[in-house]
Amino acid sequence: MGRIFRVRKRKKKNTLDHPRVNSTKEYLELIDWMKKSGWKPSCKLVSAHFQNTGRGLMAKKKIVAGSAIARIPYRLLITVKTVLESAIRWIFDVKRFFSTQQVLSTFLIWEAHLEHLSTWKNYIDCLPTTFSCPAFCDDVSWLPTFLLEKAEDVRGNISKTYSVIRESIQSKKCAHCSREMSSIFTFQKYVWAWCIVSTRAVYLCPKFNAQNYIMLSDENNLALAPYIDLFNHSYTADVKTCVIESEGVYQIETAVAFDKNSQVFINYGPLSNDRLFMDYGFIIPTNVQDSVVISYDVVLRAANDYTPLNRHINEYRCKFLREKGLFTNVSCYAGGLSWDCQALIYVFSCAASCKIDDIKQNIFSDRFKKDSWETICDIGKSIIDAKLVEFEKELRALNERGTAVEMFGDCFVVASNLLREYIDLLNRCYICLNRKND
Ligand SMILES: C[S@@+](CC[C@H](N)C(=O)[O-])C[C@H]1O[C@@H](n2cnc3c(N)ncnc32)[C@H](O)[C@@H]1O
Ligand SMILES: [Zn+2]
């Protein structure tokens, strides 16, 4: 093997699968501050950069299943209680409802502005300044239609909750630096803080999050947890979180082992890629939680094209099923059509003369008869075909936006990848349906 080949091979290995330990000054100072605040590492982890997931935590030694991978003292968690014990408690002393995320976001802006005077300086210094989730994107109009509504809802909620904070601070000045409060709590800073809470807060059972004197519009179950928020997500991770009251700590225990020098993951929950994109700004390839929602109207159209004689009765059946709220999970996934989708297609493809009791019996029997099943697969394939046309059109529209990557950054890249994932899912679903009616 020649030298150049060896050097190339080494370089490739380093960039492809070897994490790069990156104990930055900020990270080391965070660890130092946490130790001074009574935190003890429960296993040997180090901050590292991983090619596919970015910054995360790496095991310096093998971790066996059942080990605690992090234990954080309560006093290092930022909760509503922390905010209500701080100098900005007065912002929430009004007869209005606030959401937990709104309270924590406001606190982060305040603490960030205190700079070296903030108790949380070392934590704040380790936080990201940009995000790839739609919430951080000023313009989301370019998003594919099926994501646009959700993204606009999130952006709308950020604006609405921000204006409540602005109303509450009025034209007050900061006692600490004499600046106008409105120049500290800017919308831009609020969006940053909101994204920090969305992408990093952990679930804390409300009973450990007691607070007084504030009207919360939701459950008080969020906490920012320094260090714990450096763990990335994997669906193969299996963790148990708990609060050990006698020791005053929040603990994460892993049920799976991790090799030395591998990334240590936690599991953010059984989340589909559209949720991961919306809340965290990333997706995972071939996510088993993924499905593509299919509307009643799309199923109805495909069924009417297949059996035009049913058109009239199907309009009636559709109205009835919709009103009764039946078959609500009409979707497809990589392995085929959801049960609701199969049942809905079946109802639409039954001849007008079919009795309702026979239809019901067939739906709830173990499996459909061969000819009904073939019809379901044929109509299913035409639905998938139509969805593929729609999603490929959306992807072409994204690709045609030449300068979009510079304008919308990673959010654009992740949205394009998400569309590709869905196109892949639809293709795999089509193959399954083809095989099933062979
Ligand atoms: C709680 S933080 C985890 C630590 C974060 N990587 C950091 O450097 O601070 C969550 C964020 O990490 C990133 N992330 C987590 N899991 C990931 C994964 N499996 N793939 C890609 N990015 C991931 C996303 O940007 C997400 O919003
Ligand atoms: Zn100030």
Q: What token pair was written down for 96? A: 């209005």
pLDDT value of residue 212: 66
408 alpha carbon – ligand 1 mean position (Å): 19
User: Cα(359) to centroid of ligand 1, in Å?
Assistant: 48
Task: Supply the pTM of this predicted model.
Answer: 0.91
Q: Which atom of ligand 1 is nearest to the CA of 132?
A: 25
Q: Residue 379 burial by CB count (10 A; 0-12/13-18/19+): exposed, middle or buried? A: buried
The DSSP-derived string for 47-63 is EEEETTTEEEEEESS-B
In 358-405, the DSSP E strands lie at none
d(CA 336, CA 132): 31
Residue 232 Cβ contacting ligand 1 at under 6 Å: yes
Ligand nearest to the CA of 268: 1
Beta strand pairing call for 222-223 and 215-216: unpaired
Task: Note whether 429 and 384 are within 8 A (CB).
Answer: yes
- Closest atom of ligand 1 relative to the 198 alpha carbon: 27
Tell me the per-residue pLDDT of 66-103, one tens digit each, with 9 for 90 and over.
999 999 999 999 999 999 999 999 999 888 999 999 99
Q: Please indicate whether residue 263, judged by its CB atom, sits closer than 6 Å to ligand 1.
A: no
Q: Which atom of ligand 1 is nearest to the CA of 229?
A: 1
Count the neighbouring beta carbons within 10 Å of the beta carbon of residue 338.
20
Cβ contacts of 287 within 8 Å, gap of 6 or more: 235, 272, 273, 276, 421
Q: Which pair of tokens denotes residue 229?
A: 């928020």
**Token pair listed for 292:** 């593509």
For residue 292, give the 3-state DSSP assignment: strand
pLDDT of residue 438: 59
> Per-residue pLDDT tens for 92-139?
988 899 999 999 999 999 999 999 999 999 999 999 999 999 999 999
- Rounded Cα–Cα distance for residues 49 and 258 (Å): 17
Query: In 52-99, which ranges are continuous DSSP H helix?
Result: 80-84
d(CA 164, CA 142): 28
Mean pLDDT of 408-413: 88
Looking at the chain, the number of H-run helices and the number of E-run strands are 15, 15
Smallest CA-to-CA distance from 60 within 40, 46, 50 is with 46
- In order of 32, 34, 239, 249, the CA distances from 41 in angstroms are 11, 9, 17, 12
Q: What are 216's strand-pairing partners?
A: 98
- Mutate which of 22, 280, 289 for ligand 1? The one with the most ligand atoms within 8 Å of its CB, which is 280
Query: Strand pairing of 54-59 and 239-244?
Result: unpaired
- Kindly tell me if the per-residue pLDDT of 211 is higher than 70: no
Pocket test for ligand 1, best of 53, 227, 230 (most atoms within 8 A of CB): 53
- Residue 384's nearest CA partner among 347, 324, 343, 335 is 335
Task: State whether the beta carbon of 229 lies less than 6 angstroms from ligand 1.
Answer: yes
Work out which ligand 1 atom sits closest to the CA atom of 228.
1
Q: Is the CB of 71 under 6 A from ligand 1?
A: no
Give φ, ψ of 347 to 5 degrees. -60, -45
Provide the sign of the torsion angle of the four alpha carbons 285, 291, 295, 299, taken in this order.
positive
Closest ligand 1 atom to 131 CA: 25
Averaged pLDDT score across all residues of the chain: 91
For residue range 4-41, what is the model confidence (pLDDT) as tens digits? 444 444 444 434 457 888 789 999 999 999 999 999 99
Distance 233 CA to ligand 1 centre (A): 7
pLDDT at 5: 41
Q: Is 54 in the pocket of ligand 1 (CB under 6 A)?
A: yes
**Is residue 198 packed enough to be buried (19+ CB in 10 Å), middle (13-18) or exposed (0-12)?**
buried
- The pair phi, psi for residue 48, each rounded to 5°, is -145, 160
Question: Rounded to whole angstroms, how far apart are CA atoms 337 and 180?
Answer: 57
